[in-house]
Structure 1
Amino acid sequence: MAKKKKDVPIPGQQSLFDFIKESEAQKEVTPVPGSFNISNQLRAELSEGLRKSGLSRYEVAGRMSELMDTEITKSQLDSWTAESKEYHRFPAEYLPAFCAATGHKEPLRIMARLVQCHLLESEEALLAELGRIDQAKRDLLKQEKVVRDLIERYTGKEAG
């Protein structure tokens, strides 16, 4: 008999319980003025993504340019991440290309959390979909029971 694989937590991955607790806490929070100003946080995460990618800024710019089919330069990356360049904003339409080029998705998570959403990746998304399917099956079983009970009440016979 095959042994069941034990669930081993992945470092840095939230447990489902923590995920639900965080979701509930966020629903109760009303955004305060200025709370969506994520300029410094986004700059920091873009810089972190560049650092962690192991690629040069030229390589990241090249990969983004290819993905976007528009020229993105190292100088632009430098401006978007420099704290001293307050008015040089990273265009949101470049974010998917940046995340794909660097493998760093935290900037997307920052934006998603602001609107009470979560970014699920690969296996997490599949597990969430499986949970949705399981819930739909439970709901259908409840509906089936109600219909069978009604049939039994009206006919006096057990349904099916």
Structure 2
Amino acid sequence: MPTSANSIVADAGMPTRLAAAYLRWELSRRRWIAVWVIGAIGAAFAIFVAVTLGDAAVLWLLALWVALIGAIVGLTYRMTRTSVRRAHPAGSSISVQVGDEGLAYESAMGRGDVRFAALRAVHATPDAVLVRLHTSPAVALFPRAVFTDDDLARLQRAITPGR
């Protein structure tokens, strides 16, 4: 199946870079944009109530909201970084092969194959490639360095036939 193969060796900073790339991607999705909009409206309302009524208690609710969102974001980053560190420990090899029917990958956790028909979306950032499948809400996270521009173009064409 594979026609092109790319391989890199994971470095100690890879989990941090991939987790940050995932978090930037996740926080720019529609559901998080809704959270930001609701938060901004809530903050404006809290400040309005605090100034108009002189009730500072509502500012505590705003602080609680900010702390909760911060905790969720921090926990997501930490869990992603830990998962990447487990899948790609420093010094381990990561390889991706993109072929005519799909992609094959290998890391310290093992190997796998994904047919193009199973791909739902592919998002590339300068540090990472995020792959979403039709069969799972989870996101597969790969270092960008294991994909050539041609590999990414082939994946995009497979997802959007006729392009």
Q: Tell me the TM-score normalized by structure 1.
A: 0.23
Greater Cα radius of gyration, structure 1 or 2: 1
Q: Which has the higher contact order (CA 8 A, sep 6+)?
A: 2
Normalized per residue, the structure richer in helix is 1
Normalized per residue, the structure richer in strand is 2
Q: Tell me the TM-score normalized by structure 2.
A: 0.23
